[in-house]
Amino acid sequence: MKLFPKSSEDWSRLFFVPFRAYVLLAYLSGLLLEAYWPPRHGGGPPDCMALITLGYVISFFVFLIGWLTAHDKKSGRLHFIFMLITFFIGFYSLRYLAST
> Three-class SS string for 69-87?
CCCCHHHHHHHHHHHHHHH
Instruction: Please give the average per-residue pLDDT across 80-91, as a whole number.
Output: 92
Is the confidence at residue 24, as pLDDT, over 80? Answer: yes
DSSP 8-state secondary structure symbol assigned to residue 99: -
The DSSP annotation for 18-48 comes to HHHHHHHHHHHHHHHHHHHSPP-TTS---TH
Question: What per-residue confidence (pLDDT) applies to 65?
Answer: 92
More confident call, 36 vs 75: 75
pLDDT, one tens digit per residue, over 35-59 is 777 666 655 556 677 888 889 999 9
Contact 59, 22 (CB under 8 A): yes
Angle at 22 between CA 35 and CA 11, to 5 degrees: 170
- What pLDDT is stored for residue 16 in this prediction? 87
Statement: residue 100 has pLDDT above 60: no
pLDDT value of residue 84: 95
Res 68 pLDDT > 60: yes
Q: Mean pLDDT of all residues in the chain?
A: 82
Distances (CA, A) of 72 to 4, 60, 68, 78: 21, 20, 11, 10
